[in-house]
Structure formats: structure tokens, C-alpha cells
Structure 1
Amino acid sequence: MAEQRVRWGILATGGMAATFAADLVDLPDAEVVAVASRSEASARAFADRFGVARAYGDWASLAADEEVDVVYVATPHAAHRAAAGLCLEAGRNVLCEKPFTLNVREAEELVALARARGSFLMEAMWMYCHPLVRRLAALVADGAVGEVRSVQADFGLAGPFPAAHRLRDPAQGGGALLDLGVYPVSFAHLLLGEPADVVARAVLSEEGVDLQTGAVLSYESGALASVHCSIVGATPNAASVTGSAGRIDVPDGFFFPERFVLHRAGRDPEEFAADPADGPRASLRHEAREVMRALRAGEKESPLVPLDSTLAVMRTLDAVRDRIGVRYPGESDGRAGEGVGEGPGDGPGEGAALLTPA
């Protein structure tokens, strides 16, 4: 593989799949060789659009294609476990969109399967692969702001989304938390690791998914992280990390930033800017490069997006859902929150009197 282009298969044909395929076009060492959908017509239309040689009307054919080095799973997240699992069972390497799965149980199953098969597996947390986010994390790790005291991050869309939209559909893992909240939670995890305790509140829709959710994550170090997500209001989509010696502000689009500012007492603010080549057009290119680098190096997971971190984030998302009382079809009551701050008053639906249907 080190001497040839990496051959990609794309499973699904929606917006994320199209964006990813467009980004791969600009990478000379990448080639999309196959696409799959549950609809042969959809797969063929996608293949024609992006010049892909093979179009499959079922997932299993793509999973069995031995000329595919790695599959990008871009289905709605309720199908991630099934789609990624099918590919791993067939011996394919997998890059799976975020949120990795609906819950940590499904995530653990995929990780165990990849490790048993000796296949590469990575969550498509492109934020972790962005050079400016990596620079921010390195500055924090090097003590630029001192000991981290707090992290804040939010991600909200204006909506409104109709009841029939997937973001309102429990069967598709709808709600703000899994679609948008995964970014603030992952940002906090990047800087502070896994929380010791989780407190959360939400506004739920009539369908039972969260329209907006706020959570406070607490850590053994004494640090706190405040995260918020919404599908009923456009938030600044900003983030900050405050320490004993300074603060870093990411003013807009923290998950794919153009700049951030380091503030330290007695010094002028320092602005760090992204390379102009890392604009929106390059949104998924960095994670694709990281996957290909890892495959050529023979690695089974990426050090930038390690599987243990993915599992930790899923545990936190489960804990938040446990606190706000959101369940998806087929989930058991004992699924969420295990091992994450299970103190008195932190059980399923705690604080339900504060929940207001839309």
C-alpha cells in the first residue's frame, strides 16, 4: 500500500458522503473505487457524479470487495453499528462517521470486532485531525494557560426542523446531542479527558429527542467543562479553555477553526491562524490523510483519534442521555451512564420536571 494509492469505498450517498468524495478528489494518493447504497439507483447516480467505477445496491457487496482498502461509513448514525460491523466482519478497514454509534455498547462491539479481525478502525472526528486544533491542544498540554480550570463549548443550529426530519426521529438517533453535542463533548475530552461526573438538563421534543441540552462535566482535577447543543437556536459555536495562567478563545466554528487567540496576563494577545489551504473546502481532507498515513504504517488505529478516546466520549454521551431521559428504540434501561458519576439523584430522567416538550 505504501507504493500505491489508497482505494476507498464509500458506504452511503448522502451529504457527508458527497463532501468526503469531493475532498478525496484533491488527494493524489487517494482513489474512490466503489460506492454502496441500499438503492442501486442512488449508488449509480453517486458513482456517475464522482467518477466511481463500481456502484453497489447493497452494503454486503461493498464489504466483500477485496479491491477496497478502506470503507468510509457515512450512513445516519443509527446504522453505524450495522454498516461498520458488516465491513469489519468482511476484513475491511473502516473510517466511521460520528457519532461513532448510538451508545457505548455498540461502540465496544465495533472496537472488539476490529481488534479481533486485526483491521483498522477510526471515528471520523475530523476536529481532532485539524492542524489548528492540534496546535491548540499542544499549547494547553505545554502549559500555555497553566492548569486547566474550565472548558466551554457550544454548537447550535437555528432550525426549526420539522417532526419528520431525521433530527427529530428517535428511530434514527435524533436530537441535538448525538449530531451536534458530540463536538463540544469531544473538545472537552481532548483537553481534560473523561469526566468523573456528569450533570445535564434538556428540552425534549414530543417525539422524545433532545431539542437542546446543557451539561456540566466535572473532573478529578477540579476542572469543569460546560457544553451545550441545540437544534432550535443558532449559537456562537465558540469554545474557550481557561487555566490558572491564561485563556484560549476560539471565537467561531471551534470544530474547524480559522483562528484562536491566546490571552496571558501581562502579554499582548497572540492570534494563531489556520493555513488558508485549510478552509472549508478541506473539511475532511485531514482525517482522510491521517487514515491513509496509518494504513501505510500498518497501524490499527490512529494516535490522533484513538479508539479508547472514542469509547470514553461515547460513555459521556450515554451519561448525558441517562440524565435527561432520552432512550432510542431497542435500548435497555441499563444501557446508559454506567461508571460515569452515578451518584444519588443522577439516574434516568433526573430533573424531568424541567423538560418542556416542543
Structure 2
Amino acid sequence: MTTRWGIAGTGAMAAAFLADFAHAPGHRVVAVGSRTQQRAGEFAEVHGIDHAHTHAGLLAADVDVVYVATPHPQHRDLALAAIAAGKAVVVEKAFTATLAGAREVVWAARSAQVFCMEAMWTRFQPAVVRARELVAAGEIGEVIGVQADLGAFRAYDEDSRLFAPELGGGATLDLGVYAVSIAQHFLGTPVSVTAHGTRYPNGADASAAIHLAYADGRAASLWCSLAAETPGRAVVIGTGGSVEIAPRFHHPDTIVVRRNGEAAEAVALPPAGRGYSHQVLEVGRCLDAGLTESPVMPLEDTLGVQWVLEETLTQLGITAVEGRVEI
């Protein structure tokens, strides 16, 4: 049986995600929704999607899963509406603009027993899956730390969504979410966050250095930036060695395993397509099993990540707000 997907949003993220359905047998995008019927129709025509709707029409359509790919501050309202319509929902990261918004969505999904997952595609990449398996098997001993950076230079443009605070723009929500999520994946939620960073003239965050501390002495050192290119490397550090998720770690094709006293071992594990298909297949597995959360990307992890993101923005002097979507 084919799992029918609808996409809420018509931007670059929606187009990139859509392309990888060629690598996800049993899944098909059958509808797209936007604020206007015209924009949805244009996107559907370009990408060969059968049905185009407003957001309200998409939620009433015959789809099994709604993928939310709009700017961050619109995620909350669209996810809540999808849950109210009884649709499984996959929400782009950052999951919401605020921790309160994330808690609303999680509460609604759990109360309604509707599947909900943050679209943190990195966790489903073959290289990251293998890293997780090695760590679980004790190959690098006890995990004591994570280092991760993700910088992607973008010329400052106050008219671009990427730099618009009211649309969730800035380094933390766009890039920092990856670094925070990889640390959360291997270390869990910290007890404290310390953040420093720089800002653009309009107040959006240009870069952030984030330190996560844990009660038992473990720690994570993270960096994100829209003002400079960085390698994009993540390293999980243990008492017996380390696993490097080679650049760029958010969609890697190689890991490097370093065991104390031994030569480094590089393992090539390329994704299918760009790599989005792996999370599509995870959603299918969960729905087939009757699950309402992914065991790889559970909602509790999403809440932990959102807490760190909000702490970071607060310490940078930024207050994120949720937007409103008319449905």
C-alpha cells in the first residue's frame, strides 16, 4: 500500500525533500498546500504533483502524512491543524520557533495519539546510524563529549527569510539546530547552556558558540554561523576513542573511527539520493507498526533540543515568537 504525502509549503526545502521520494518505494507525494491556491498550483505543475490546495484544502485532502516545510514560526499552527485533522505530521526543523510552541504540538499529538516527528533527517543517514551502533556497542567506551560545527556563509540580505527574525531567520534555528540535535542524540538533554554570539544589524543572530554541560561532567562544544564557512564536522568522544561524522555531518557519507592506540578507520556509508528518503522510510516503518513517535527521533528529544535553542537565543538577546497561519 502506498503512503500518501501532502506537503505544506512551496519553498526550496519542500522541493529538495520532494526530489528524494524517488528513493522511497511505497511513498508518494500526491498533494501540496500553500497560502494561496495559485502558488500551490504553480509548484504542483513544476513538480508533477496531482493536487494543489490552500493549507485548509491540503488538510482536508486524502493524504496520510503532512510534511510541514514552511518558515519556522508557521510550523506550530500548521502542525496543530494537521493533528486536529487526524493526519500524521512531519515537521521541519527547527520544530517550532519557541519551546512553548513545541510543547503545544507535542501535547496535541500525544493527546490525539497522532504520529508526529521532527524532520531531523541527519539521524536517519546511514553514516549516523552506524555511528550510533558503534557507540551503543561500546566501541569508543563511555561517551563523554561531543564537538560539532556548522557554518555556511550567506551574504547578509535583510530582505531574505534567512535573516528575518520574524520568520525564524538566523544561525541558531537554521544551522544550530543540527549541532544541538547531534549532541542531544549522543548525550541527552544538558542541565545548563552557555551561549555567546554575534548579531546582524537587524538583530538576527549571525553566529553562536554554545556550551552544553551535564551533571556528570560530560559536555558538548558547538558552533553555528551564517557569517563564515566552517568544516561542518561532528565528533563523538568516548573514553576509548572517538567517532568522527565527517563533513558535512548533517548529511554525511563517511565516518572515521579512532580507537585508542589503533589506526583510524574510515567507513564510507553514502545516503540514497540526497538523504531525505531515509526519514521518509522511517515514517513508513512507524506508521506500519502503529507508533505515534519515532524511536530514533522521539518528541522528548525534540523538546530537549528546543529548550537548548531557546536558551541560546535568550542569552544572545533574542526573543523568538510564533507566527499565525490562517487555515
TM-score (norm 1): 0.87
Q: Deviations over 1:41-64 (max 9, x none)?
A: 2211221222222111x2111111
In the alignment, structure 1 residue 287 sits paired with structure 2 residue 279: yes
In the alignment, structure 1 residue 240 sits paired with structure 2 residue 235: yes
Tell me which amino acid in the other structure corresponds to 1:294: C
Q: CA deviation at 1:104?
A: 1.2
Query: CA RMSD, aligned part only?
Result: 1.5
In the alignment, structure 1 residue 64 sits paired with structure 2 residue 56: no
How many residues matched?
323
- Does structure 1 conserve the Cα–Cα contact (< 8 Å) formed by 2:236 and 2:243? yes
Q: Counterpart of 1:328?
A: 320
Q: Deviations over 1:111-153 (max 9, x none)?
A: 1111122211000000111121011122122222222232110
Name stretches of at least 5 consecutive residues in structure 2 with no aligned partner. none
Q: Counterpart of 1:53?
A: 50
Distance 2:205 2:48 in 1: 39
Distance 2:23 2:220 in 1: 37
Q: Counterpart of 1:309?
A: 301
Q: Counterpart of 1:173?
A: 168
Distance 1:73 1:80 in 2: 6
Q: Counterpart of 2:86?
A: 91
Tell me which amino acid in the other structure corresponds to 1:19: A
Q: Counterpart of 2:30?
A: 33
Distance change in 2, residues 1:205/1:50 (3 Å): same
In the alignment, structure 1 residue 104 sits paired with structure 2 residue 116: no
Tell me which amino acid in the other structure corresponds to 1:209: A
Distance change in 2, residues 1:329/1:30 (3 Å): closer
Tell me which amino acid in the other structure corresponds to 1:136: A
Q: Counterpart of 2:112?
A: 117
Distance 2:262 2:60 in 1: 58
Q: CA deviation at 1:330?
A: 6.7
Tell me which amino acid in the other structure corresponds to 2:31: A
**Runs in 1 of length 4+ with deviation above 4 angstroms?**
none
In the alignment, structure 1 residue 184 sits paired with structure 2 residue 179: yes
- Three-state SS of the structure 2 residue aligned to 1:132 is helix
Distance 1:52 1:269 in 2: 46
Moved more, 301-310 or 157-166: 157-166
Distance change in 2, residues 1:273/1:284 (3 Å): same
Distance 1:211 1:199 in 2: 17
Q: Counterpart of 2:193?
A: 198
- Three-state SS of the structure 2 residue aligned to 1:233 is coil
Distance 1:329 1:80 in 2: 12
Q: Counterpart of 2:121?
A: 126
Q: CA deviation at 1:90?
A: 1.2
Task: Give the structure with higher Rg (CA).
Answer: 1
Tell me which amino acid in the other structure corresponds to 1:24: F
Tell me which amino acid in the other structure corresponds to 2:285: R
Q: Counterpart of 2:153?
A: 158
TM-score (norm 2): 0.95
Distance 2:256 2:322 in 1: 45
- Does structure 1 conserve the Cα–Cα contact (< 8 Å) formed by 2:191 and 2:213? yes
